[in-house]
Amino acid sequence: MSKKYDLPKAYEFNEVEARWYAYWQEHKTFAATMEEGKPSFSIVIPPPNVTGVLHIGHALNNTLQDILVRYHRMKGDNTLWVPGTDHAGIATQNVVERQLATEGKTRHDLGRDKFIERVWQWREEKGGTIINQLKRIGSSCDWDRERFTMDEGLSKAVREVFVRLYNEGLIYKGDYIVNWCPRCHTALADDEVEHDPTDGKLYHIRYPFADGSGHVVVATTRPETMLGDTGVAVHPEDERYQHLKDVGISLPLTDRTIPVVFDRHVQREFGTGALKVTPAHDRDDYEIGLRHNLEILKVMDDHGVMNEAAGRYAGLDRFECRRKIVEDLKEQGFLEKIEDYQHAVGKCYRCSTVVEPITSKQWFVSVRPLADKAVEAVREGKIRIFPNTWYNTFYSWMDNIRDWCISRQIWWGHRIPAWTCQDCGEVIVASEDPDTCPRCGSTRLEQETDVLDTWFSSALWPFSTLGWPENTRELQMFYPTSVLITSFDILFFWVARMMMMGIHFMGEVPFRDVYLHALVRDKHGKKMSKSTGNVIDPLVMIEKYGTDAFRFTLTAFAAQGREIRMDEDRIEGYRHFINKLWNAARFAQMHIKDCDPSITRVVDDPQSLPLQHRWILSRLDKTIGDVRRDLDGYNFNEIASAIYQFTWHEFCDWYVEWIKPELYGEDATYQEQARGVLLTVLENILKLLHPIAPFVTEEIWSVLPGERSTIMLEPFPEVRPEWEDADAEQEMGLLMDVISGIRTIRSEAELHPTAKIEATAICPDPEKRRLIETFSPSIEAMTRAEKLHVTPEAVIPDDAGHALVQDVELFVPLKGLIDVEAELDKLARERTRLEKELKRVEGKLGNEKFLANAPEAVVEKEREKQAELQARLEKNQANRTRLEKLL
């Protein structure tokens, strides 16, 4: 530990944070312990993309994990937090391809093997950025156990899983509709497609009946896909179209006749009740096509260019084709109307290219048997989900789950371990690269060129990172992991898949609890984006306010819900909280730095202590109980609230002020009691706060009296029933109410802090009266009153300020203390100014043009200003009424 020194006036967080993180790493304090007989607690980090940089979501996610890890480490559990990164197939390949583009090259110029070497080189040079940034926010991962989804051990696990699932018939290759990025030239998982509201057009097209008896109108946002229509679907009970069973539809702009099929998927109340069916270019249409044996006609290639099946439109880019088709439909009388239409357009999450649903031969996992076991585990309570509002969403999604497309047409990733014999066509799937075909003995084997979806390796994360398929000691001790903390938006794409894989391969759930945190928005509830300029950069906030203040803000905002509204002003506010603790610790250090730490023994017999000490110990005991309960229940915002309330208001504002006379006094017994309780309470505050604010707590801890190891390895506070004292809390509550009441009178009368007052407490209850009388010197000191009179009854003067607390009436004669006429004149001037400003704001809010054209944030700001001005006018009137009574 560092040498003892006096805490400086200001908390220089940058220096402190760098010094302590280096200390923790040097002394391996984050390393997992594996002692027999101890409870185990383990977390696997949701692996960030190796291309990533720290954003506000990472900061929230990892702060919450770190809180739990530090808590369980202090509890003495065998604690493991496994760090690592994801190879992020598409994202990483794009980064390196852009790098090559600056050299005038493509990946094809290098060839597959050389390109993969180049990606590994990039990973070694640049891929550790986010890991270093996670360290910057204080993450206490066991960094010696860092994993990467492409490292040797995890790659072995991926192959093993693929081969086993294939041999069990749960992996197959076949045609299916997938999300296709024409730029990246690969299939995408559903979660890799971002759906943004887009202003587009809805085209209403007349489809003539083949017998010439009329037509039906269909609507589409993608008229170019009509070239791939192989049917029109209507509801089987829709009487309007029963006569078309044997007639069919003449497809406009083509010489084809397509059938009418009857399918319950169609909503007959929507539009005309007729739906064009393009099985090769729409997922729902694909399912209809399969049910009715419709032709699957692909009219677009992998580059988004119309192919030969598109007839005279072949060779056109899909969007150019759309323009040309609309012109032709209009010219030939098939276009009924075009409407403006806002709809969600799927775009590639990496390059923002509009994604095309398209049929393709891909590898799939048949997930239904795996999903059923995951659902059963959740229903039986083997996995708990927090908050519980997500249960129904989970069940609904799992009930409607589709087979998982796991192949990607890129080079960076786990290459699918499947080979095809060029002589006999045999498909070989194996953990080790085969040399010959087991069927014909040929050596002409060609490996599958596709790689696996990144989520495939991530789905194995809870057990592959612990050494599977080997039966390691880590697996035995730390699997199942204790809790998974992640954002709710990947509940299905990652969390559910980990459940399926863990149960299938380990015979046990991958984690006991799942905590789904909210998404972080700006203070107005808007999504953060660079284009709107509302991004809160964690590293900027840390540089500005310190890691502890930033972490405390994230924790305080982490209520169980779907949205966290982050505001930089609140980060600054919690910076004040850290400073408040620092100043209280500096004050305490003045009085305890030379003490023997054994002075804390005074708290072992709390009933021998004066009221104020019994009260603070009782409040501390309640806070410890609340914090432990909320840590175990993942109520992170409640943890922050409890610590904040106790530290700032009860410890700093009340207790420290109350015991100053004893600390500065000459009574050795009282002084030792005050020092002992002060040191005890401060130690416990630091321990309670450490999981949230590790740096400032470690720094203060290190200068407290006695030999001390790192606070990280100190035992977490436990409830001490002997400290619970309801009577002390009730009695102290009355005294604090009296003090607050007199302070309120002073404040409302706007008396100068040095103004000499006399206060009176009218208290009919003899027990309460004796209590107030006993502590009247303390009350006088803390309200700056020359005298406190305590009486069972009294007449309250007309010129007195008045307050009622519990059943005690308080008054302070104000005559001679304030110039009433001058104060009234000042209030009148203030009122004139406030009314003028309110009239201006109300004029704005009454202007329809302003409300229609001004940004929502600007309008909201004016409404907030209006409410504030109205409140200040009400306060002005109340003060005026009070002063007029004194005339």
Neighbours of 360 (CB within 10 A): 19
- Calculate the CA 657 to chain-centre distance: 38
Work out the percent of the chain whose per-residue pLDDT is above 70: 98
Q: Of 755, 786, 813, which residue sits at a domain end? A: 813
> Residue 381: CA atoms inside 13 Å, Cβ hemisphere, count?
0
Do strands 260-262 and 231-234 pair parallel, antiparallel, or not at all (unpaired)? parallel
Residue 416 has pLDDT above 80, yes or no: yes
What CA–CA distance (Å, rounded) separates 99 from 105?
9
Which of these, 784, 791, 732, 803, lies nearest to 760 by C-alpha position?
791
pLDDT at 380 (0 to 100) = 97
Pick the range with the lowest mean pLDDT from 78-87, 205-214, 286-295, 810-819.
810-819
Co-location of 807 and 705 in the same domain:
no
Co-location of 663 and 789 in the same domain:
no
Query: Contact at 8 Å (CB) between 478 and 430?
Result: no
What tokens appear for 606 in the block? 């709390």
pLDDT, the chain, mean? 92
Which of these, 577, 573, 581, lies nearest to 541 by C-alpha position?
573
Q: Which domain holds residue 879?
A: 820-886
Co-location of 717 and 734 in the same domain:
no
Query: Contact at 8 Å (CB) between 133 and 62?
Result: no
Q: Round the CA-based radius of gyration of the chain to a whole number and report it.
A: 35
What CA–CA distance (Å, rounded) separates 497 from 398?
10
What tokens appear for 401 in the block? 């789950």
Q: How many residues does the chain have?
A: 887
- Say how many domains are in the chain: 4
What CA–CA distance (Å, rounded) separates 97 from 840?
57
Exposed/middle/buried for 163, CB within 10 Å: 0-12, 13-18, 19+? middle
Query: Contact at 8 Å (CB) between 153 and 463?
Result: no
822 pLDDT band, cuts 50/70/90, is: confident
Non-local CB neighbours of 372 within 8 Å, separated by 6+ positions: none
721 pLDDT band, cuts 50/70/90, is: very high
DSSP for residue 796: P
Tell which wins on pLDDT, 283 or 62. 62
What CA–CA distance (Å, rounded) separates 300 from 281?
9
Phi-psi group of 756: left, alpha or beta (phi > 0 → left; psi -120 to 50 → alpha; rest → beta): beta
531 pLDDT band, cuts 50/70/90, is: low
pLDDT tens digits for range 732-764: 999 999 999 999 988 888 888 888 899 999 999
What tokens appear for 565 in the block? 């509204």
Query: Contact at 8 Å (CB) between 332 and 253?
Result: yes
Co-location of 694 and 560 in the same domain:
yes
Work out the percent of the chain whose per-residue pLDDT is above 90: 74
Q: At what angle do helices 611-632 and 636-644 cross, to 10 degrees?
A: 170
Co-location of 663 and 737 in the same domain:
no
Query: Contact at 8 Å (CB) between 335 and 253?
Result: no
Tell which wins on pLDDT, 375 or 361. 375
Query: Contact at 8 Å (CB) between 682 and 589?
Result: no
What tokens appear for 279 in the block? 């099985």
What CA–CA distance (Å, rounded) separates 193 from 489?
13
Q: Of 341, 357, 373, which residue sits at a domain end? A: 357
User: What's the one-letter identity of residue 866?
Assistant: Q
Co-location of 719 and 796 in the same domain:
no
Mean pLDDT of the 437-453 span: 95
90, 93, 122, 411 from 185: Cα distances, Å? 10, 12, 22, 11
Query: Contact at 8 Å (CB) between 296 and 258?
Result: no
Co-location of 202 and 334 in the same domain:
yes
Query: Contact at 8 Å (CB) between 885 and 749?
Result: no
Q: Is there a domain that residue 870 lies in?
A: yes
pLDDT tens digits for range 117-170: 999 999 998 888 999 999 999 999 999 999 999 999 999 999 999 999 999 999
Q: What is the dihedral of CA 176, 181, 186, 192, to 10 degrees?
A: -90
Q: Of 813, 835, 853, which residue sits at a domain end? A: 813
Stretch (H or E) spanning 577: helix 568-592
> Residue 311: CA atoms inside 13 Å, Cβ hemisphere, count?
14
Query: Contact at 8 Å (CB) between 502 and 480?
Result: yes
Query: Contact at 8 Å (CB) between 449 and 490?
Result: no
Co-location of 696 and 549 in the same domain:
yes
Which of these, 128, 37, 117, lies nearest to 76 by C-alpha position?
37
The residues pairing with 758 across neighbouring beta strands, listed in sequence order, are: 787
What CA–CA distance (Å, rounded) separates 81 from 465?
11
Co-location of 711 and 775 in the same domain:
no
Do strands 481-487 and 511-517 pair parallel, antiparallel, or not at all (unpaired)? parallel
Pick the range with the lowest mean pLDDT from 396-400, 649-653, 769-773.
396-400
Residue that is written with structure tokens 């609230």 in the block: 641
E strand segments, 524-610? 563-565
What CA–CA distance (Å, rounded) separates 383 from 379?
8
Stretch (H or E) spanning 82: strand 78-82
First to last CA, the chain: 65
pLDDT at 191 (0 to 100) = 66
pLDDT tens digits for range 309-321: 999 999 999 999 9
Q: Is there a domain that residue 411 lies in?
A: no
pLDDT at 1 (0 to 100) = 54
Q: Is there a domain that residue 285 lies in?
A: yes
Tell which wins on pLDDT, 817 or 222. 222
User: What's the one-letter identity of residue 169?
Assistant: G
**Cis peptide leading into 480, omega within 30 of 0?**
yes
Phi-psi group of 700: left, alpha or beta (phi > 0 → left; psi -120 to 50 → alpha; rest → beta): alpha
Tell which wins on pLDDT, 127 or 262. 262
Pick the range with the lowest mean pLDDT from 434-438, 529-533, 655-659, 770-774.
529-533
CATH code, domain with 570: 1.10.730.10
Residue 360 has pLDDT above 90, yes or no: no
225 pLDDT band, cuts 50/70/90, is: very high
Residue 622 has pLDDT above 90, yes or no: yes
E strand segments, 265-398? 274-277, 335-348, 356-365, 384-386
pLDDT tens digits for range 473-495: 999 999 999 999 998 888 888 99
Q: At what angle do helices 726-748 and 766-774 cross, to 10 degrees?
A: 70
Query: Contact at 8 Å (CB) between 285 and 312?
Result: no
815 annotated as ligand-binding: no
Residue 241 has pLDDT above 60, yes or no: yes
pLDDT at 176 (0 to 100) = 84
Q: Is there a domain that residue 45 lies in?
A: no
pLDDT at 699 (0 to 100) = 97
pLDDT at 91 (0 to 100) = 85
Co-location of 824 and 806 in the same domain:
no
Query: Contact at 8 Å (CB) between 196 and 347?
Result: yes
Co-location of 559 and 668 in the same domain:
yes
pLDDT tens digits for range 272-297: 899 999 999 998 999 999 999 999 99
Query: Contact at 8 Å (CB) between 682 and 644?
Result: no
Mean pLDDT of the 424-431 span: 95
E strand segments, 530-682? 563-565
CATH code, domain with 743: 3.30.2320
Mean pLDDT of the 576-596 span: 95
Residue 591 has pLDDT above 60, yes or no: yes
Query: Contact at 8 Å (CB) between 419 and 413?
Result: no
Which of these, 3, 144, 151, lies nearest to 82 by C-alpha position?
144
Q: Is there a domain that residue 786 lies in?
A: yes
pLDDT at 887 (0 to 100) = 62
Query: Contact at 8 Å (CB) between 106 and 100?
Result: yes
Mean pLDDT of the 652-678 span: 95
| DSSP-derived secondary structure for 239-253 | GGGGGGTTT-EE-TT
pLDDT at 439 (0 to 100) = 94
- Calculate the CA 243 to chain-centre distance: 55
pLDDT at 527 (0 to 100) = 75
Residue 2 has pLDDT above 60, yes or no: no
pLDDT at 886 (0 to 100) = 64
Stretch (H or E) spanning 174: strand 171-181
pLDDT at 777 (0 to 100) = 93
Q: Helix H segments across 707-764? A: 726-748
What CA–CA distance (Å, rounded) separates 752 from 817?
9
Query: Contact at 8 Å (CB) between 361 and 407?
Result: no
pLDDT at 71 (0 to 100) = 98
pTM for the complete prediction? 0.85
Residue that is written with structure tokens 């604690």 in the block: 79
Q: Is there a domain that residue 842 lies in?
A: yes
Q: Is there a domain that residue 506 lies in?
A: no
Co-location of 796 and 686 in the same domain:
no
Q: Is there a domain that residue 112 lies in?
A: no
pLDDT at 872 (0 to 100) = 87
pLDDT at 742 (0 to 100) = 95
Stretch (H or E) spanning 616: helix 611-632
